[in-house]
Amino acid sequence: MRTSRILLTGILTASLAASLVGCSVALTGPDGPRGSGTSSQGSTGEPAPDAGETDSGETGTELPDSNAADAAAAREEVRSIASTTVRCDGELVLEQDGAAIVIDGDCDHLLVNMDAGAVLVGNVGTLEVSGVGNLVYADAVGTLTVSGDANEVRWSGATPDVDDGGVGNILMAG
């Protein structure tokens, strides 16, 4: 158990440190940037160069193969250290600080109200993250609301509608 927590803390710390190098938050996904509370525009109102614009002028973001492989490996790492598997039949609230949790089944509404946790979930209609220092991997998210700080949320499907009221959050496809 202690090894799992140390490993989870190391994963969260490394992920957060690597992601905060530029000290900005950007939302990206397969269908381009979306959401409120964050912006990928520069002071001129033009999109920043890394905001997902391709050479052809289309917007959209594709993760490089190495990032996709890293994300898959990180998901499997969470699965391997998970101390709890919980069934979701609609709505679920998670409040176990420091836990690594795999959620079995899709959730209409998932509230992650914990600190320093890791969550692996399938499809989520509405995902709310209000804790600090969490890592959440979802297959697909319809709506994402983050009010906590220093959280990382990654999804595999289309970019959800996002409201980021926190500080230092990393919200991205992957």
Distances (CA, A) of 22 to 15, 17, 135, 148, 164: 13, 10, 19, 20, 18
What pLDDT sits at residue 94? 96
Quote the number of domains for the chain. Answer: 1
For residue 160, the enclosing domain spans 2-173
Q: Show the CA angle centred on residue 36, arms to residues 100 and 156, nearest 5°.
A: 40
Within the chain, what is the greatest distance between any pair of CA atoms?
50
Report H helices in 20-134. 65-81
Per-residue tens of pLDDT for the chain, all 174 residues: 555 555 555 565 545 444 444 444 444 445 544 444 443 333 334 443 343 333 333 333 333 444 667 878 888 888 898 989 999 989 999 999 999 999 999 999 999 999 999 999 999 999 999 999 999 999 999 999 999 999 999 999 899 999 999 999 999 998
